[in-house]
């Protein structure tokens, strides 16, 4: 049996401040199902991609680093917590954040949310679509992540100050 995809982990296992709980289990599934990719667009020259997603409360990304792309993240509805190596921020409707390539991050969805992501350059949209299609063998998933320049962080990673 193929384990659940690591794209989402339950909030109880999501990373918190040091000493506040377990390290995320990258093979756990979200309690309310996976995010849904609503639309994708990319620049013809590959200079950007835009993704719009519906993400249920409780979903989270495992801590990771995207080495090949910068990210702008906008919240249209709902709320999420963006955890980076520098700070932890709560984002609600109308809020935007940018995350540079190479910057550690994890995202925890606090309330059902519609999110817009812009990646520069494009490329991660194919990975997101594949990960949301359903469970993958962990070895296949790791090959896809590596090819896209995404690296999962070690179990001990903790976000910056709140």
Note the pLDDT of residue 32: 52
Question: What is the greatest pairwise CA distance in the chain?
Answer: 46
Looking at the DSSP bridge assignments, the partners of residue 3 are none
Give me the half-sphere count of Cα atoms (radius 13 Å) on the Cβ side of residue 72.
11
Note the pLDDT of residue 89: 94
Task: Give counts: helices (H), strands (E), the chain.
Answer: 2, 8
Q: Write the CA distances from 144 to 24, 88, 128, 130, 139, integer angstroms.
A: 20, 28, 10, 9, 9
Tens-place pLDDT, residues 118-155: 999 887 777 777 777 777 788 888 888 888 888 989 87
Note the pLDDT of residue 33: 62
Task: Please tell me the distance from the alpha carbon of residue 98 to that of residue 117, in angstroms, as a whole number.
Answer: 10
pTM of the model: 0.73
Q: Give the distance from CA 89 to its chain's centroid.
A: 15
| Cβ–Cβ under 8 Å, residues 81 and 16 | no
Q: Please identify every stretch of the chain with a pLDDT value under 70, giving residue numbers as ranges.
A: 1-33, 162
Looking at the domain covering 11-152, what would its CATH class be? mainly beta
**DSSP code, position 134:** S
Note the pLDDT of residue 130: 76
């Amino acid at each position: 049996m193929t384990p659940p995809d690591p794209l989402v982990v339950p909030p109880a296992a999501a990373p918190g401040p040091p000493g506040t709980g377990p390290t995320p289990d990258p093979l756990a599934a979200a309690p309310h199902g996976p995010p849904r990719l609503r639309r994708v667009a990319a620049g013809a020259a590959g200079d950007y991609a835009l993704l719009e997603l519906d993400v249920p409360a409780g979903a989270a990304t495992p801590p990771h680093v995207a080495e090949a792309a910068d990210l702008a993240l906008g919240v249209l509805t709902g709320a999420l917590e963006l955890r980076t190596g520098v700070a932890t921020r709560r984002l609600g409707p109308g809020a935007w954040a940018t995350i540079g390539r190479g910057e550690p991050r994890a995202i925890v969805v606090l309330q059902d949310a519609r999110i817009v992501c812009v990646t520069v350059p494009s490329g991660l949209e194919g990975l997101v679509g594949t990960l949301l299609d359903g469970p993958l063998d962990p070895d296949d998933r790791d090959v896809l992540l590596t090819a896209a320049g995404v690296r999962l962080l070690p179990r001990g990673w903790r976000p910056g100050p709140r």
